[in-house]
Chain A
Amino acid sequence: MARALRYLAQAAVYLLIAVLLGVLSNSPVYRAFPRDQALIKLSLVHSAQRKVPCRKLSAEELAELAPNMRKPMSCSRERLPLWLEVRLDDRLVFSESLPPAGLSKDGPARAYHRFPVAPGRHSLSLKMRDSARTEGYDYQLDTEVELEALQNLVVDFRPESGGFILR
């Protein structure tokens, strides 16, 4: 192959690689989420109450313990599961018992779910039960939200802030 032709062929190979790198480095564009939708994201981490409530030790029980182990309260590690319900426009979209994390079931329960919705006004009802009760809810929030297209509404839970919070 003549020298000029060889150089030309080399340039063609480099050009091919450059085009490959240049094009595939950011295209074709990937549609990760529909443009005409909004997103409600439920994300919370919360420890339910203990399965067995804490109990105050008697004086006799304390005396049996080593001096450095004498805590007045005796608490079991295991937590109750968390019951969570989400209604969107009066439609039940999430209803689940969330188990506590950890091998000893002493960690917090956690939830992370995405609900794509159409933009506009929506009624949102959030209910949580973190105790041993079988009826009713410990935390509840009923609200209306106005969502724009591609808006990301996060539903979080902070007991110190009174329960459910919307971000």
Chain B
Amino acid sequence: MNRVKNGMRTGFMWVEDWLDRAFGPAWNPLYHLGALGFFYYWIVAASGIYVYILFDTGTTEAYDSIEYMTVEQWYLGGVMRSLHRYASDGMVLMMVVHMLREFALDRYRGNRWFTWFTGVPVFWLVIASGITGYWLVWDKLAQYLALATTEWFDWLPIFGQPIARNFLAPSLLDDRFFTLLTFMHIAVPLILLLVLWIHLQRVSRSRIHPARGLALGTFAMLLALSLFKPAVSQGPADLARVPAEVGLDWFYLAGYPLMDIWSKGALWAFTATITLIVAVLPWLPPLRRLPAAVVDLKNCNGCTRCTEDCPFNAVSMQPRSDGLPFEREAVVNASVCVACGICAGACPTSTPFRRASDLIPGIDLPDRSLRQLRRPFAPAASRPTGTGCGRLVGQGPRDRIRLRPRRRGARCRAAGRGRAQPALHRRPAALLHRLRVEPRSGGRRLHHRLPQGRVLSTFRSALDRGPPCPPARPLPAGPRAARADRHVLGRPDRPSAAGPGGGVLRRGTRRAAARARRPGAPGGHAGGLGRRGGRPWLGRFAISLRRRSTC
């Protein structure tokens, strides 16, 4: 199982890197899988409303009305129908990839069980919504589905009369059945929406809307597909004849051929077993219960950043209990903490511009502190040279630690590659996510990629934390700025952990470092900048992690 998971993880990372290059981190579809699923849902809902307006419930009227909108009103009704279908398919695609990715990245155990577990009914509700929708068309595919589905359900000894008898002959099928089907096709997606709401209850900052550019691109793709290959029916249903060949929608109906291969009972057993296994995956061995984050009150000033950044609402602020002259303190709710370590990355004491020489966050993981976590990355981080490098990639076993070009045109040498130490491989992938920090286009903001792979919290954004960092400007010339650079990057004339010449920080950070050295510089942590020695690679990471503290 671990080999499969590791292989999947490597594959996802590879695709993610390529998508990062094509879309950038803000638009990378892999970081928006859940949000894209929601986006498809809304497209399905909106197009479904229009289709419903033109739809007639009746044994012959159903097919005729859909043919009308497909053929006569192709420019609107046909497009809406096609959008309805393709967005539904896209929803399944996003849902499956989302599930596989969470599985591959080990994001379903521990306190994440709730989100994973409630995702299982979401899957079946989506499938049920699609199947009931295909029935409504009442073409040959609908006839096949109606018979196959009802025969499958009739295997269960819960129906007084076999429901497949409704489809024995045209005379036995009445219009009221389509009214019932329409009701089901509306009710099931509404129930799905409710379950989706429950699904996100433990995620404090769930994103249900993808980035605008990604949403526009996705919609344009669906629209183009709808125009180029409109969804069509497969001929009217005729209960006096057997549908021989049907064009299945494999996103929704891939399980139907199994009904012809296996017995009905075997298929029920298979479906129930798979569902059960997936549902109880969080509790299957190897069981891992990671210790929750702990607060070190001596280093906590109650700034609330950990509370704001925690994606699972596991950190709350409460009145100070230790007598220190601060208003509040962070308190961790261990029952919902997933030990992702984001809070440690959010803590301002992890900034390199701190007063204390040691890196001691006010909140940290007991079994793997931020300091310990950074240590294995030292060799890899010290090797790279080049300008504009600084993005750290690596989140799982055998993942390479790479420093990639952050700016267009920048180059990083291959020496920037390295491998995390074995001790780090055994840690859950989520721990390393706090290191996956990179700037948005323009380099003004930092986004902390969370376990969901999303760009979740915007550090020091105009909305959340006050004004963003000032725009980057060329470094002021002069000895003071040079000293500041030497501190952070290492001396260019002396070999250091940062490699010959150091010099991997972007201009904005250099400037911020220089500014922080000025007498009376804002921010309570600026005083430590002038200390002797230091570990440049650490400073570089910390700056990448917490750039907001410099402005």
Which A residues are closer than 8 A to B by beta carbons? 1-3, 6, 9-10, 12-15, 17-18, 20-22, 24-27, 29-35, 38-39, 41, 43, 45, 101, 107-108, 110, 112, 150-152, 154, 156, 167
Q: Evaluate contact between B243 and A32: CB separation under 8 angstroms.
A: yes
Bound complex: CA A14 to CA B220 (Å):
9
List residues of chain A with CB within 8 A of the CB of B2: none
How many residues from B make CB contacts under 8 Å with A? 54
Q: Evaluate contact between A1 and B21: CB separation under 8 angstroms.
A: yes
Task: Find residues 196-253 in chain B having any chain A CB closer than 8 Å to their own CB.
Answer: 217-218, 220-222, 224-225, 228-229, 231, 234, 239-251
Least Cβ–Cβ distance between A14 and chain B, in angstroms: 4
Bound complex: CA A112 to CA B243 (Å):
18
Bound complex: CA A121 to CA B162 (Å):
29
Q: Evaluate contact between A152 and B225: CB separation under 8 angstroms.
A: no
User: B47-90, CB under 8 A of A: which get 1 and which 0?
Assistant: 00000000000000000000000000000000000000110011
Quick one: which of A6, A21, A29, A38 contacts B247, CB cutoff 8 A?
Answer: A29
Bound complex: CA A28 to CA B75 (Å):
27
Bound complex: CA A117 to CA B498 (Å):
79
Bound complex: CA A22 to CA B87 (Å):
11
Q: Evaluate contact between B165 and A45: CB separation under 8 angstroms.
A: yes
Say whether, besides A13-B29, A25-B85, A152 and B239 are in contact (CB < 8 Å). yes
List residues of chain A with CB within 8 A of the CB of B222: 18, 21
Q: Evaluate contact between A32 and B260: CB separation under 8 angstroms.
A: yes
Bound complex: CA A18 to CA B90 (Å):
9
List residues of chain B with CB within 8 A of the CB of A22: 86, 225, 228-229
Bound complex: CA A8 to CA B229 (Å):
22
**B3 interface residue per 8 A CB criterion:** no
Bound complex: CA A35 to CA B408 (Å):
59
Q: Evaluate contact between B21 and A9: CB separation under 8 angstroms.
A: yes
Main secondary structure of the interface of A (DSSP, over half): mixed
Least Cβ–Cβ distance between B502 and chain A, in angstroms: 26
List residues of chain B with CB within 8 A of the CB of A38: 242
Q: Evaluate contact between A32 and B144: CB separation under 8 angstroms.
A: yes
List residues of chain B with CB within 8 A of the CB of A110: 161-162
List residues of chain A with CB within 8 A of the CB of B256: 30
**B257 interface residue per 8 A CB criterion:** yes
B250 nearest CB neighbor, chain A only? A24
Bound complex: CA A7 to CA B260 (Å):
45
A8 nearest CB neighbor, chain B only? B22
Quick one: which of A13, A26, A152 contacts B249, CB cutoff 8 A?
Answer: A26
List residues of chain A with CB within 8 A of the CB of B144: 32
Least Cβ–Cβ distance between A115 and chain B, in angstroms: 12
A39 nearest CB neighbor, chain B only? B242
